[in-house]
Structure formats: C-alpha cells, structure tokens
Structure 1
Amino acid sequence: MQVSIETTSGLERRLTVGVPAARVDSEVDERLKKAAKNVRLPGFRPGKVPMKVMRQRYGEGVRQEVLGEVMSQSFQEAVVQEKLRPAGQPSIEPRSLDAGKDLEYIATFEVLPEVEVVDMQGMQVEKPVAEVTDADIDNIIEVFCKQQGTWEEVERAAAEGDKVNIDYAGTRDGEAFDGGSAEGADLELGSGRMIPGFEDGIVGMQVGEEKVLELTFPEEYHAEELRGAAVEFKVKLNSVQALVPAPVDEALFAQYGVEEGGEEQFRKEVSENMSRELKNAVEGKIKQQVMDAVLEAHGGVELPRALVAQEVDALRRQMFQQFGGGVGQNLDLKSLLPDDMFAENAEKRVRLGLVLSELVSKNGIRATADRVRAAVEDLASTYEDPEEVINWYYSNREQLAAVESKVLEDLVVEKLLEGANIVEKECSYQEAITPAGQEDA
C-alpha cells in the first residue's frame, strides 16, 4: 500500500492512498465463490453456478461493497502507519476505481492538535466553607410545607405570593395586539410570568377592582414587534387565593418518603440530603474554577473544525430535547437553532476536552473500577432502591461511560488541586449551594 501525506492548512491533512488491485480483486473473487454455494439460478444446479455467470450477475455489486470496505480499512492502516490522530471522519475522493487497476483515493481530514500542557502550579481557588444549621433545615421544611399546601380564597387585597384570577386586555396606541388579552387567567404574583410591572401593579388591588397598567415591553422580548413598546393593560381582579402551607405532620413526612420515626427522623433525612447537596455544590464550584483556569491557560490550542461542529450539533440536540422536542418531529433544527447560538460553548468544550485528555495521558490517570463503583453508588444513594439503580448503570454501557468520564475529570481536578493555592471562604449554606454568577438572583 502506497501512502503520501500533505499538510494543506493548519490541522488539515490530505492523504493519498494506493491499494494494489490484487487486494480488491482477490476479495471480490472470494466473496463471489462463497455466494455461489448458495445462489439459485434457473438452468444451474444449486452451488454449481459458474464464476463467469456470478461475475456477470453480481460482480459489480460485490465490487462496490468491497471497495467501500477496503477504503475504510486502508485508511485506518494508513493513519496508523503515518502516526496520525484523525479528528472526525475523513472526506473520501476516489481517483481510480476501475477493475484490474490499483485502487487510489484521497482522504481529507483534520488531525488532533499537539497540546502543550501549561503548568498550573499556584493557581488560586476559592473554597466555600459552610454547614447545615437548624435554621437551614427549618427553611427547607417550610418550602416543603408550601409545596404540599393548598390554595384558599381570601377576602383581602392581593399580595405578593397570592394566586389571583384576572381578566386583562392589552392595547398599543389604542389597538389590541396578539396575545395581549385573556379572561379568567390564573396568575401567581411574584412568579415573573408577565412583563415587568404587570404583577407588581396587581398587588394591593381588591376583588372586583379594575385598573389600567401603563407598561413597557422589555427590549429583549421574544416578539420583535413588541420590543420596547409602550402599552396599556386594563386589568380586572376576579379573585384572590392565599397559600395555606401543609402542617408538619406524618402526612407531610410520608410525602417525602419517611414512613417511620416521626419528625426527628424526617429532620435527620432532610439534614443528610442537604449535607450531600452542600458537598456536591462545593465540589462543583471548585471544579468550575479549575476548569475555567485550564481554559484560560490554554486559549491558544488550535481546534479541529470537525470536533467543534460535532459539539455544536450535540448542544443543539440537547437544547431541543430540553424544550420538549422529540423523535419524529420534522423540523429544520439548524434554522430553528443556528450554529452561532452554540459556537462559543462548543469551542470551550472541545478545548477543555483536548486539554483534559492530554492531562490524563501525561499523568497516567485511570478511572479505576473502585472509583467508578463509588461514583455510581453515590448517584444511586438518593433513590428508594439504590441497588436497582446500580444494576441499571452497570447494564447500560453508555450511562456507565458517562460516569467513567466524570470520574476522570474529577481525578484531573484532584491532581491540579495538589499544586493550587486554596483559600477558604466562610459562607451560609444558601450562598454555598447557589451556582456561581447567580448570587444576586
């Protein structure tokens, strides 16, 4: 097999591969001989069809099948021979496919970049330090009581947190606009469902009262024709309901899986779950800081376009599924969710993946069976039947691979933290579990 390689630009390579005709022809003959044993044709006994007839009838189809397989196999052999690391699938351009002649084709593809790992020694990492207090447990139980509470009609002015029933009609310059009117609509005040000022304007209204709200649509509103538009909403308040929290009793405990032990056991389990959440949140914040530092330090790594495109597609599908998209919906996702929505995140993920892969290789890091098992058991611990969940992971290769990938990431983070300057920062439980950048929200 003859191979020549050319660097066209950056990470792109052109591989010209020549395969001797004998390799293709011998494989075609071998397949035709095997097929002849089972072929039934009028005028011939089973298994006695002459090779000349086999070639006339089936030769071209078999040859095309063999050509595809030989090109795939020889490409893999060529990249191993040339010590190349392809990024994504090649584009194959046949040059000679004629029978009796050597097979020749050109494969164009990108290679993975050589990643030079930057020394991360001494990077600054802030570690939140918090504990779960009785007051934190009380706050969470209060949330549970509200979740299991009931709405009851009240005879007073509407207040933040109430559920109101309203009629409203919106106009712009005296004209109604699409989606601006409704009758008998339920709305929880403070939910943020309506444009700024709408819900605040209902606070303090009495049942039966009518009011005109003069508001302005946000500049980033999804309907382009209403962005920044000054409008009026005529609102009538039909009813007000207040939330009556559920009592802290056996019925509440049962709703959250505690059948025995009363309030003491309930608080114990709530505390354990909060402690687990706190641990995961702290580890997550530390990991994010490390990953951000890795990205910043390796901003010059050249990225294969093929890998970025694959990541864009993965992020697009993920968003589509999150918003309820499913199989069988005939939609042009690229038009609906264009590439530029995901390009920046895709590039970050590809860069991070390349650097982490190099760190794994350089430091000889392995996701041991014990470490993977511990990670799976931790994931399963929050379920009613942990053993069933563990068995599910180990019977699902794709899900187990995702756990193994996370374990490798965690091991890389642990390795980098060995040389980091970790500064502890005391904070409350709520501050610790709030994702970075969302503290104000």
Structure 2
Amino acid sequence: MATAVETLGKLERRITISFPLTDVRTEVEKRLKVQARTAKAPGFRPGKVPLKMVAAQYGYQIESEVLNDKVGRAFNDAANENNLRVAGFPNIVPKEEAAEGQLAFDATFEVYPEVAIGDLTAVEIETVQADVSEAEIDKTIDILRKQRVHFHTKGEAGEHGDGGEAIGANGDRVTVDFVGSIDGVEFPGGKAEGYAFVLGEGRMLPEFEAATLGLKVGESKTFPLSFPEDYHGKDVAGKTASFTITLQKLEWAHLPEVDAEFAKSLGVADGDLAKMREDIKVNLQREVAGRVKARNKEAVMDALIKVAELEVPKTLIAQDSERLAEMTRQDMAQRGMNVKDVPFPAELFAEKAERRVRLGLILSQLVGDNNLQATPEQVKAQIEDFAQSYEDPREVLKYYYSDRRRLGEIEALVLEENVVTYVLGLSKVTTKAVAFDELMGSNAQA
C-alpha cells in the first residue's frame, strides 16, 4: 500500500509505502525452507540441517533480500500507478512510526522535469568552416619529415658529412654529461651521463640550452641556472644552481628528401608523389571535417542550453559526477599513472555533469517531439565512415555490430547529429571561415 504523493520541491517527491509484517515473515520462512534443501553444516548431511540452524546462518541475509524485494516492488507499483517518471534511485528509509503489524518506509525521490524549449527560429548560431590548402599539405609533409629524421655526426666527411661546423646549434642532437650543485652540494636529479636532447625543442630550461649552444665535442662550461618557483622538483624550485656540462656527442638532423622512397614510407606503394599529396589532403580534409563538426555541434549545444528551461534533477547530476570521476580514474590508470590512493571527489565533476545531464534531457525532448531517432541506415553509414581510415573496414563493422553497447554509442552519436541538423535548419545561422591552424589547435569536443 502507498500513500498519496507528497510534493517536497520542484522535482522532489515522497511516498510512504507499507505492508503487513506477516507478509515478510511468510516469505522469509518460504525462502529459508528452499535454502535448507542445500544447506551444509558440520555433522549434517546436505539438506538435513535443522531449520533453526539455517535461520541462524542465513536468516538476516534472506530477510534483507525479502525487504528489498518488497519495498522495491511496492515503490515501482506506486510510481506506475501515479504515472511518475522517477529520476535516478529513490532514498528509502524506515518510518519510525507505523501501524501495528505493519512495516512502513518513506521513499524520497526526484522526477524528470518538464523541458520547455524556446523558439528555435529566433536562435542565432555561428558555425565555422575551414579549407585545406597546398600550404597545409606542405606543413604536414614537413612534420612527417621531422618524424623520420636521422641524426649523423656533425662535421664528419662522408655521405652525410655536410652538417656544417661542429658546434652546437638549434636542431642538433647533443649528448652531454652534467652535474649541478646548490651551495656546493649536489642534489638528487642534478647529475647525468650520456643525456641526449635536441637543441631548440624546449625540453631543457632556457639557461641549460643557451649554455650548450656553441659548444664543441669535449668542451665544458659552468653556468648558473635559476629554477622557476613552480618547477616540478620541489627541493630545487625557486633556487639557483651551478651546473657544469660537457658535450660528449654532437649530431645534426638529416631530414629525408621528399622523393619516391619517402612516399613509400607513407604507404604509397608506387612512390608517386602526387598520390602521396592527395592521400595527405584526404586525411587532412577528414580531420578538418571532424573538427568543424565538433565545433558546430558545440555551438548548437550552447544555444540549446540558453533557449531551454528546465530543472535538472540533483540525483542525476550526482550519478553522472560519480561516473565521470570513475572514468577519469580508469583513464589515468590506463596511461600508467598510479592513482590507487589518489582521491577523485565527485563534486569536482559536478559542473560538467550538470551540463551533460541538462543536454541529455533537452536532446531527449527534441528527439521525442520531432522523431529524430537514429535509423539503422544512418548507424551503418556512420560506422562505414569510421571504417574508411582502417585497413580492413569489414573488421570495423564487425567490431561495432558484435557488441550492443558499442552500437549504442554510434546510435547516440547519430542521434546528436540529427538534433544538430534539425536545429541548424530552423535557427539563424552565420558561417565564419577559420584558419586551418586555429581549427587544428582548438580543443573543441563533441
């Protein structure tokens, strides 16, 4: 039996549910007898253990299971009878006062809100577009060349002996021995032998790189180095050390020529440079299209948040905060970080969770009102688009269609794209051209 629904707040509700104590006792006895059929105890054959002993061993567990089952069933029945859309899980606590022979519980919970979406035709949204020019292809080729750089001893004669004067310069790879001290005392991490780095890449502090520039192999230099206040090594942060470095090895960077062999190294079997550039262009266009889509989707989501009015259930925010905290922990662990004893307070993720939940409710309303669900054809087309960048597209299709959860992720993605298309079709859209570098440097996320 359930009482009438009490309204405690905009979304918060309460129901009192009760049922006879005899119902619980009867069900507990029934389950104990079932348990007794297979119960084991020293001195008794299986199934011959006295019921009192079975009750002593399993009674508390079975009584808890029965209560959970009955309370859960009663709550669900009450929610259905009152046409309540319960958000998250109810908080159920025993009532201190109950009628004689009855068990009573208060179930406090939130319901899903009404979502009011404003006039989308009055919404202004700025989208972006970007092109891939020959200059971007050239920049990409330069990056690919640097990724395939070979280092050769600087100043030596031979096939690769044209590296210039044998002194350290930006772009050279140097191998050094160094030792640092503060007030004449060496400090942990301040000494190394055979340490290699490329000058000009910024891996070392500026004073260290400056001291290495211009050195010849075998030469040493002593210089002061001031550690920044926010340096990761707390023992030396903000202090000035004296370093002595000795250049042991000097190599210049030999970038591969853009020729047929270079093209083959990028997967162009016949070494055709025109085909190589076309492949690079296609890949860049795919990347640009993905980033443009992400930026434009984010613009639509921002607009929807502004135009929609709704209360967001605190229960759903708390649940998503916990989910985000756990996802962050798992991601960091997969990256090799030791997060065993690192706290991940869910409240740190509350703002992001609130936005995610709010958008989820808005999208759900739009999809339901306008029949924007993902169709099987759309899902397949999306997976096939993903598969284009893989060697065996059929394996990609199999990967998604063999797992309902993975397929659900694609369906959710298509659903969002349907919403974006729908909103852009109604709203006032202006398009801004953005530079390739600006777009590729952005962290816009879907």
Question: Which range, TM-score by smaller chain?
Answer: 0.7 to 0.9
> How far, CA to CA, are the matches of 1:111 and 1:157 in structure 2?
73
Contact map agreement 1:148 1:252 (CA 8 A) in 2: no
Equivalent residue, structure 2, for 1:146? 146
1:343-375 deviation digits (Å, cap 9, x = unpaired): 433333333333333333333320111111111
| Letter of the 1:263 counterpart | L
- Distance verdict in 2 for CA 1:74–1:329, change over 3 Å: farther
Distance 1:172 1:121 in 2: 67
1:41 to 1:182, Cα distance in 2 relative to 1, 3 A = closer
Say if 1:97 and 1:248 are closer, same or farther in 2 by CA, change over 3 A: farther
Bigger shift: residues 77-86 or 219-228: 219-228
Q: How far apart are residue 62 of structure 1 and its match?
A: 3.6
Q: Within 1, Cα distance between the matches of 2:332 and 2:31?
A: 49
Does residue 403 (structure 1) correspond to residue 410 (structure 2)? The answer is yes
User: Contact conserved, 2:260 with 2:271, CA < 8 A, in 1?
Assistant: no
- Where do 1:215-230 residues align within 5 Å? 215-223=225-233, 228-230=238-240
Equivalent residue number for residue 82 of structure 1: 82
Inter-partner Cα distance in structure 1 for 2:68 and 2:97: 11
Q: Does 1:351 align with 2:358?
A: yes
SS at match of 1:194: coil
TM-score, with normalisation over the residues of structure 2? 0.80
Does the aligned pair in 1 maintain the 2:329–2:339 contact within 8 Å?
A: no
What's the CA shift string for 1:270-304, capped at 9, x where partnerless? 22212211211211121122223334555x75444
The reply to whether residue 167 of structure 1 matches residue 177 of structure 2 is: yes
Moved more, 102-111 or 6-15: 6-15
Q: Which residue of 2 aligns with 1:241?
A: 251
Match of 1:309? 318
Matched, 1:433 2:440: yes
Query: Partners of 1:390 and 1:224 in 2: how far apart?
Result: 50
Of 356, 363, 366, the match for 2:370: 363
Is the partner of 2:132 in helix, strand or coil? coil
8 Å CA contact 2:151, 2:253 repeated in 1: yes
Superposition deviation, residue 12 in structure 1: 3.9
Match of 2:392 in 1: 385
Q: Distance in 1 between matches of 2:385 and 2:27?
A: 52
Matches within 5 A, 1:207-222: 207-212=217-222, 214-222=224-232
Q: Per the alignment, do residues 343 and 223 of structure 1 end up closer, same or farther by CA in structure 2, a change over 3 Å counting?
A: farther
Choose the corresponding residue for 2:290, options 280, 286, 290.
280
SS at match of 1:142: helix
- 1:366 aligned partner, one-letter code: Q
Q: Does 1:320 align with 2:329?
A: yes
RMSD: 4.0
Structure 1 Cα separation of the partners of residues 154 and 237 of structure 2: 36
Shift in CA distance, 349/103, structure 1 to aligned 2, threshold 3 Å: same
Unaligned stretches of 5+ residues in structure 1: none
Q: State the shift of 1:199 in Å.
A: 3.6
| Counterparts in 2 of 1:231 and 1:37: CA distance versus 1, 3 Å | closer
How much has 1:68 moved relative to structure 2?
1.9
Q: Secondary structure at the match of 1:71?
A: helix
Q: Is the 8 A contact 2:332 2:339 kept in 1?
A: no
Q: Cα 1:326–1:128, aligned 2, differ >3 Å: closer, same or farther?
A: closer
Secondary structure at the counterpart of residue 333 of structure 1 = coil
Corresponding residue pairs, total: 434
User: How far did residue 56 of structure 1 move?
Assistant: 8.3
SS of structure 2 residue aligned to 1:3: coil
Change (3 A) 1:435 1:40: closer
Displacement, 1:384? 0.5
Deviation of 1:386 (Å) = 0.7
Per-residue deviation, 1:60: 5.6
1:188 counterpart residue number: 198
Corresponding position: 1:19 with 2:38: no
8 Å contact from structure 1 (residues 380, 389) kept in 2: yes
Shift of 1:148: 2.4
Q: Tell me how far 1:8 sits from its aligned partner.
A: 4.4
Tell me which amino acid in the other structure corresponds to 1:64.
S
2:162 is matched with which residue? Answer: none
The AA in structure 2 aligned to 1:91 is N
2:321–2:350 contact (8 Å) kept in structure 1: yes
Aligned partner of 1:259 among 269, 275, 296: 269
Counterpart amino acid of 1:391? K
Is 1:17–1:105's contact at 8 Å kept on the other side of the alignment? yes
Identity %: 38
Q: Which amino acid is the alignment partner of residue 154 of structure 1?
A: K
Q: Which amino acid aligns with 1:181?
A: K
Distance 1:397 1:127 in 2: 33
Give the TM-score normalised by structure 1. 0.80
Q: Which runs of 5+ in 2 are unaligned?
A: 156-165
